[in-house]
Amino acid sequence: MLLLESVLKGDAKLIESTQDTFQSLLSALDARYQNKRAVIDTLLKNILSVGKANDSPRQLRNLVDIIKRNLRALENLKLSRNNLSDALLVHILEVKIDSESQKLFQMENKSSEILSLDCFLNFIEDRARILEGISKNCTTTVNSNSNKQSVKPKQNFSRPKSLIVNSHNKSKKCVLQNCDESHPLYRCSKFKSFKLSDRIDCVQSNKLCKKCLSFHPNTNCKSKYNCFMCGDSHNSLLHDDSKINNKNNSCHEEEDTPLYASPHSSTTQVEQTATSFCCSTFLNRKSILLCTARVFIRNKENKFVPVRAILDSASEINIISSDCANFLGLKKEKLFLPVSGICGSIQNASRKVTTSLSNLNGNYQWDIELMVLPKITDFSPATRLDVSNLKIPENIQLADETFYIPQKVDLLLGCELFFEFIKADKIRLNDSRLILQDTCFGYIVAGSTEPYSQINNATSHCFLSRGMDTLDKTLRSFWEIENVTCDSFPISEELNYCNEHYEKTHYRNSEGRYVVQMPFKPEIEKISLGDSYQMASKRLNNLWKRLNRDPTMKFLYSEFLREYKNLNHMEEITNCNLSNDDGYFLPHQGVLRPSSITTKLRVVFDASAKTTTGYSLNYLLCAGGVLQDDLFSILTRFRKHQYAFTADINKMFRQIEINPSQRKYQKILWKEGPEENVKVFALKTVTYGTTSATFLATRTLQQLAKDERKNFPIASKVLIEDFYMDDCLSGASDINQFMALKKELGKLLLRGGMTLHKWCSSASSESDLYPFNYCEKQSTVKTLGMMWNNCEDAFLFDISTSSTTEFTKRDVLSQTAKLFDPLGLLGPVISKAKIFLQRLWLLQIDWSQKLPSDIAQEWSSFIASLSYVKNIKIPRFVLRPNPKEIILHGFSDASEKAYGAVIYLQSVCDPSDNNTFLLCSKSRVAPIKSVTIPRLELAACLLLAQLTRKVLNALKLKIDQVLLWSDSTVALSWIDTPPHLLKTFVSNRVAQIQELTKEYHWSHITSKNNLADLLSRGIDAQFLVNNQFWFQGPDSFNSLNSETELNQSDKNYLSEFKSKDSVCLTVKTSALFDDVICVSNNFQKLIRIISLIFRFINKCKKNSKECGAPSKTERQNAEIYILREVQVRTFGNEIHSLEQCGNVTPNSKLKSLSPFLDSQGILRVGGRLRNSILPYNSKHPILLPAKHKVTDMIIQYYHKIQFHSGPQALLYNIR
């Protein structure tokens, strides 16, 4: 009886029986709870209401336990199962598990027979066991020293390692009884050799944690990492893949974002571009093993954790899955990287991460930049492989010990580091096509083999990822050319440093040549450059494979380097110590240039190739900065000379020697044939391909001009102003000056050991006076990207167009970027291309989407018209010989589509003899956001002001007049208005215009005569041929006078003025008292607070030095203040009347109390008691409102101190 009562709980414990006996209580319980129908209903409800389980092993097993427990109870109630009940329960329970488990259940049970409930429950138990066996082995974390100078790769160093061990594990001795070594269990080779079932039994029998294999329960494990095969909560060594099938069949691609997205993905910014091809086919015979490896990657906690990677030599970018990036907690940086796939489909990578990569032993480490994509590929391999017949040597360490099990891929490591991973050893397994290749991570397994089981629709993958920077560079060049900067670039700290370094280190040898030093970064002493020999040797071997396939290139390559040696630009090093990593080996490759007249092949040197430490020579060098004028300025100045010439310095870089102490950084490997011995050479001159080469070359030209200025004043000026890199574009106003300049310039360069060649001149008769080459009798040469016919002294254009009939936005952008016209001579044509490109942006057409038929037809017509530019010839010389006056005319105009500015030079010899020629133009498309026409006209005026300043700075020519024209009276009125009166948008632009053109005159012109009108509308090329209005302006520039008075009453003009609004200032007194009384409900505490506030105020006025608790006087003053403030807020009218008249108004509610103000301004009760002998406060009580917080506080205070006295006693005490 007592035992039964002790186990009863809840309502059952409250049941009363008729007798106080065991049998009576048991009968009462039976009567209450042995309701078979109610019990069955409860059990069925338990089954049907079971919660949905995710892919957690615990939840899956909980689901199975609930079903079995309730089914067992139902069977005890004599309810049997049958096929119908099993079918119903399987149907109900299947939706209770996660979608991935549902998919695997269907794939495992392909029979058309009715599935039993036992089959379903067994599957759930197996699934739970599989998921439970998957956990990331995080017990070994490779800690990196956070104080290292750099995270660049360093070889042959030992990193500290930390082992996470439970405090109960006093000894590091292995858990296995037959293993006497001291190491954690996951490093035990004997444990790894066990079968999976034996490993699981070992863990369970020793009661080890399934995640980190340490001595603590699973629930107490602090490890954050799971199985790196499936991501579940167990160690990777306990992973059971027998029940996992290929869950990423191609028919389910919609569940994950693939590497290759649909053609409808797009981006509106092109900063970096890569092409990635991923090809999938369906096979059922052989399985292909990709190069997978377990690599260690640094997470946000500065620890290295293992992830699975594919090594792909066909990829130019490195990729990380978004899941892995989130798991590592790496900081993501924004970028715009369209990744293009098969058939031009695009996946946009909008984030990248930067971290470090290492192998298991930590003796290799690399910095790496990874593009973040939602997914890299499906499980790899596609199916489980049969490796029982593979005889893998026992003494080798595999890079991926579970290479044969389908698993997810976290990283794709591209060609940037691929060949640094590869080592020399390679093993072929049996007679199969499987190969073991040694790498820094261990041996990778690659090739084809038989699958473990025949699975239909097994997927195979092919990756190819390459950079698409050609369009990017072309487009960037296009926009840089279209940009207008009227101010010079500021001198950077790096440029200052490089200039100072050059001044201190350069000198001239006995031949007059300059000897310079490369400007290394100041922190170079803290960095080890590392060994580059192996890298250069591999590159040389790969180069010879290519040369052997191309005899022509082989011949040109050998001749180039033979000439390099014969000219003493490089020297052989016979005693080079290859084991010493001092210095740097430059890999090299050939670039064919069939269009070049003098050099068909050019060998370029790769100073960006990384060494064993991950650094390159270019990383350690300073780039310097820009020292010469930009392309626009030099071409503009080239047009002012009556007699002009072009030339370039022969092998400019190689005429400047590198200091012998630094030549060790310019070593190369070369051999005359594939079977010849490799020789080591040191390049003795400035080398193209190094970061500092351009700065050193251009800085040397300026130094030569400075050193020889006294002897060659004219040529020195040309050397500074008219050279763009090694190209010279200059001239003179008469033939004598012209010939003297050519002769002087040649002598000046000879002083520095340099010579000019590829002379080309517009003078037709000076060949007898001074010998020069005409580039093999060619009359048209290309100089700085512009085609110049020196015989006709005119600029020509030849734009290559695509023959395709179907266009995409990428095609439009590519063709637009090819319109190379630095001076804007074809401005209206370029403007139309810009307007069309903006239309595509507004239509939100994807990069690879075909254009709509009407738009494609319009673009096709525009492309066809580009062929007419071949018929356009624009005079180079824009002046008349010996003009009396030179006038610069500038025009601006705007439309809803675009706005632009164009500049002409007018040469006046006499009033009836003058000529005008187009000098340059620039255009902009209108903003996408709607802007009023007057504002666009003002923007056009600003563009004209900037272009005018740019041209005047470039010409270095005396201009007698500068006349600027616009057809917008509103914009001109704004320009004549003080900027501070205008709204921000207009004010900022007007201020800039006034600053840039304060010495010039703005005038109005009709739209008919506005030459910039063509820029604002854009036209096809055929309408530009022989268009005298564009190339030479209206018939008479003399008639261009201000034709309209400015209308400053126009509503558009007035709308941009700042409005003069009246400002009303309302001052609200601080409600200090109302805030303070809310602080406390205790009246005495309130008095103390107010007294302390008054003390603080007095101290601020330096009138008090009180300290400690408030004095009696301070408390009395605080109390008076409180009472007075309450009265003022409640009886303000009465107090005012008493102060003014001495009496309250007749209608006052206090009239019967005869109120008066005492000496402290407190309102008190008057009346007949004033003649009594009572105390003053009793005769004249203080008046307080009945409903006020302070009144309530006073009553509560006295009520408490009087020990809760009655109402009458309380009122008596208060008064």
Q: pLDDT tens digit string along 353-378?
A: 999 888 888 778 888 888 888 878 77
At 154 the pLDDT is 36
How much is the pLDDT for 268? Answer: 32
Dist. CA 347–CA 337, nearest whole Å: 8
Give dist(CA 858, CA 202) in Å, integer: 75
758-781 residue pLDDT tens: 889 887 654 444 444 444 445 778
HSE-up of residue 999 (Cα within 13 Å, Cβ side) = 7
85 inside domain = yes
Rounded to a whole number of angstroms, the CA Rg of the chain reads: 45
Same domain, 1041 and 1090: no
CATH code: domain of residue 911: 3.30.420.10
Instruction: Put residue 311 in one of left, alpha, beta given phi > 0 → left and psi -120 to 50 → alpha.
Output: beta
Q: Bigger pLDDT: 586 or 1075?
A: 586
Split at pLDDT 50, 70, 90, the class of 38 is confident
Largest CA distance in the chain: 143
d(CA 24, CA 28): 6
Token match 């009407």: residue? 854
H-state helical runs in 639-768: 693-707, 713-721, 735-751
Tell me the average pLDDT of the chain: 78
pLDDT of 1015 above 50: yes
Q: Which pLDDT value is given to residue 253? A: 33
pLDDT at position 136 over 80: no
Q: Pick the range with the lowest mean pLDDT from 514-518, 620-624, 1061-1065, 1181-1185.
A: 1061-1065
Contacts of 784 (CB under 8 A, 6+ apart): 631, 634, 635, 724, 727, 729, 822
Give the residue with greater pLDDT, 276 vs 486. 486
Shared domain check, 1045 and 987: yes
Q: Is the peptide bond before 381 cis (omega within 30 degrees of 0)?
A: yes
591: in domain: yes
Q: Which amino acid is at 747?
A: K
pLDDT average, residue stretch 226-247? 63
Residue with tokens 């035990």: 188
Q: How far apart are the first and last CA of the chain?
A: 72
Helices in 615-734 by DSSP H: which ranges? 617-620, 631-638, 693-707, 713-721
pLDDT reading at 271 higher than 50: no
CA distance linking residue 156 with residue 361, whole number of Å: 10
CATH at residue 550 = 3.10.10.10
Establish if 474 belongs to a structural domain: no
Whole-number pLDDT of residue 1112: 83
Q: Which two tokens stand for residue 1165?
A: 């009760």
Mean pLDDT, rounded, for 337-344: 59
pLDDT tens column, 177-221: 677 777 777 777 777 767 777 788 888 877 788 878 887 777 678
- Compute how many other C-beta atoms are within 10 angstroms of the C-beta atom of residue 256: 13
Query: In this structure, are residues 718 and 684 in contact, taking their beta carbons and an 8 Å threshold?
Result: no
- Residue-wise pLDDT for 378-400, tens only, equals 777 777 777 767 778 877 888 88
Provide the 8-state DSSP code for 602. Answer: E
285 vs 859: CA distance, rounded Å: 49
The whole-number average pLDDT for the span 593-597 is 68
Give the lowest-confidence range in 502-506, 644-648, 1074-1078, 1129-1133. Answer: 1074-1078
CA angle 110, 113, 116 (to 5 degrees): 95
Lowest mean pLDDT among 360-369, 485-494, 579-588, 880-889: 485-494
Given 115, 133, 151, the domain boundary residue is: 133
Q: Which of 466-475, 692-701, 1103-1112, 1122-1131 has the highest mean pLDDT?
A: 692-701
- For every residue of 513-550, DSSP letters joined together read -EEE---B-GGGGG------HHHHHHHHHHHHHHHHH-
Cα distances (angstroms) measured from residue 42 to each of 16, 64, 70, 605: 24, 18, 9, 82
Which pair of tokens denotes residue 296?
């260690």
Task: Of 313-327, 966-980, 1034-1048, give the lowest mean pLDDT range.
Answer: 1034-1048
> Which pLDDT band, with edges at 50, 70 and 90, does 940 fall under?
very high
Please, which pLDDT band fits residue 716 given cuts at 50, 70 and 90?
Answer: very high
Token pair recorded at residue 1167: 């009346």
Residues 6+ apart with CB under 8 A from 502: 516, 519, 696, 699, 703
Q: Residue 551: is the preceding peptide bond cis (ω within 30°)?
A: no
Tell me how long the chain is: 1215
Calculate mean pLDDT across residues 431-457.
71
Residues 425 and 301 in one domain: yes
Query: In the prediction, which pLDDT does 244 show?
Result: 43
Q: From residue 1129, how far is each of 19, 350, 1125, 1184, 1195 by CA, in Å?
A: 77, 64, 6, 11, 19
User: Do residue 443 and residue 546 come from a single domain?
Assistant: no
Asked if 720 and 790 sit in the same domain, the reply is: yes
Distance CA 1139, CA 1141 (A): 6
Average pLDDT over residues 451-457: 44
Say whether both 499 and 620 belong to one domain.
yes
Mean pLDDT of 1014-1020: 92
Q: Which of 247-256, 393-402, 547-556, 782-791 has the lowest mean pLDDT?
A: 247-256
pLDDT value, residue 14: 62
Residue 729, pLDDT above cutoff 90:
yes
Residue 719 domain flag? yes
Torsion over CA: 840, 844, 846, 849 (sign): negative
Is pLDDT at 277 greater than 60 in this prediction? no
Please indicate, yes or no, whether residues 744 and 892 belong to a single structural domain of this protein: no
- Do residues 342 and 444 share a domain? yes
In a domain, 459, yes or no: no
How high is the pLDDT of residue 338? 67
- Report if residue 511 sits inside a domain: yes
Distances (CA, A) of 622 to 243, 497, 618, 634: 58, 9, 8, 26
Helix, strand, coil content of the chain in percent (nearest 5): 40, 20, 40
Q: How far is Cα 1078 from Cα 171, in angstroms, rounded to an integer?
A: 65
Reported as a pLDDT band with limits 50, 70 and 90, residue 692 is: very high
Q: How do residues 617-659 score in pLDDT, each as one tens digit? A: 998 999 888 888 989 999 999 999 999 999 999 999 999 999 9
**pLDDT: which is higher, 681 or 1197:** 681
**pLDDT of 233 strictly over 80:** no
**Tens digits of residue pLDDT in 58-112:** 788 888 888 888 888 888 877 878 878 888 888 888 888 887 787 777 777 766 7
Q: At residue 1057, does pLDDT exceed 70?
A: yes
- Structural domain boundaries, residue 1181: 1070-1214
The whole-number pLDDT of residue 252 equals 34
The answer to whether 1135 and 1163 have CB atoms below 8 angstroms apart is yes
* Percentage, residues of the chain above pLDDT 90: 24
Amino acid 1131: pLDDT: 83
Given a cut of 60, is residue 546 above it in pLDDT? Answer: yes
* Tens-place pLDDT, residues 866-917: 889 889 999 999 998 888 899 999 999 999 999 999 999 999 888 777 889 9
Last residue of a domain, which of 133, 156, 190? 133
pLDDT at 1045: 55
Query: Does residue 559 sit within a domain?
Result: yes
DSSP code for 1038: G
β 643-649/794-796 pair status? unpaired
1125, part of any domain: yes
- Those residues with Cβ within 8 angstroms of residue 105's Cβ, 6 or more apart along the chain or in another chain: 94, 97, 120, 123
Residue type, 282: F
Helices 83-94 & 57-76 angle (0-180, nearest 10): 150
Phi, psi values for residue 643, rounded to 5°: -115, 120
Same structural domain, 591 and 704: yes
Shortest CA distance to 1089 belongs to which of 1075, 1102, 1103, 1099?
Answer: 1075
Instruction: Supply the CATH number for residue 344's domain.
Output: 2.40.70.10
Q: What pLDDT is stored for residue 796 in this prediction?
A: 92
Nearest to 54 by CA among 63, 41, 45: 63
- Exposed (0-12), middle (13-18) or buried (19+): which is 649, by Cβ within 10 Å? buried
Residue 587 — pLDDT band, cuts 50, 70, 90?
Answer: very high
The domain tally of the chain equals 5
Tokens of 118: 């036992």
- The mean-pLDDT minimum among 37-46, 470-479, 489-498, 642-651 falls in 470-479
Boundary residue ending a domain (745, 779, 795)? 795
**pLDDT tier for residue 168 given thresholds of 50, 70 and 90:** very low
Pair 362, 406 in one domain: yes
**How many degrees, rounded to 5, is the angle at CA 452 between CA 451 and CA 455?**
70
Whether 1149 and 1179 share a structural domain: yes
Q: Do 629 and 527 share a structural domain?
A: yes
What was the pLDDT predicted at 445? Answer: 87
